Amino acid sequence: MILINLLPHREAARKKQKDQFFTHLGLSALLGGVICGAIFTWYQGQIANQQDRNTFLQGEITKLEAEIKDIANLQREIASLRARQTAVENLQGDRNLPVHLLDELVAQLPDGIYLNSMKQENQSVLLMGVAQSQERVSDLLRNLSNNSKWLTRPDLVEIVTAAPPANAGLGQRRVSNFTIRVSLTRPSSVAAPGAPGAAPAAPGKV
């Protein structure tokens, strides 16, 4: 007996394939969504961790900035205290500078030189006087340069040869008026006696 299938099997097969296609498409979409959700969640976790790290680092940076500011303030205070200490030491040492200045002038002035005035401005001293000759002035400059530890860097500002007064005798010679600028050394800069590099003591005049 011959059986004839009169049902539309081609349409049924196409429908079945279509249903399978949509089922696979739905499963693929669902799987893609799950994967995308997992990736999104992972990235969100990474972003949250990085934000936590950034917040922590920002807090630590703020602390360090405060500590650096405190250190800078301490350094300024230390520098100010050192400056005050140096100023006090200089003031204490400068009290004896006039004594050292007079002692050095007595020791270093050669014969034939007389000082008329002396003016001190900070560590600079201006000496004005009269010499019997210009050679005497040269001797004074040489003494101040080589033999004095308190008076340094002598500089001849001016030297003028003056004629003797009209009422002077025939034996009166010309004299030289001079001006010398010399630097006065602070006690803190002078080497202690007997220390290496200490300047030899200048011989005193009797």
Question: Would you kindly state where each structural domain of the chain is located, as residue ranges?
Answer: 12-95, 97-186
- Are the CB atoms for 174 and 163 separated by under 8 Å? yes
The total of other beta-carbon atoms located within 10 Å of residue 181's CB is 16
Tens digit of pLDDT for each residue in 73-98?
999 999 999 988 887 877 776 677 77
- The confidence score (pLDDT) of residue 54 equals 93
Tens digit of pLDDT for each residue in 117-168?
888 887 888 989 988 888 888 888 888 888 888 888 888 888 888 766 555 4
Going by C-alpha positions, the residue among 153, 148, 93 that lies closest to residue 125 is: 153
Q: Which CATH class is domain 97-186?
A: alpha beta
Helix (H) or strand (E) run with residue 176 in it: strand 175-184
| Listed range (42-46, 105-109, 124-128) with the worst mean pLDDT | 105-109
Rounded alpha-carbon distances, angstroms, from residue 187 to 64, 95, 97, 128, 151 = 43, 10, 8, 24, 11
- Whose tokens are 């994967």? That residue is 35
The amino acid present at 75, given as its one-letter code, is: Q
Helix (H) or strand (E) run with residue 85 in it: helix 9-94
Residues with Cβ within 8 Å of residue 9, at least 6 apart in sequence: none
Give this prediction's pTM. Answer: 0.46
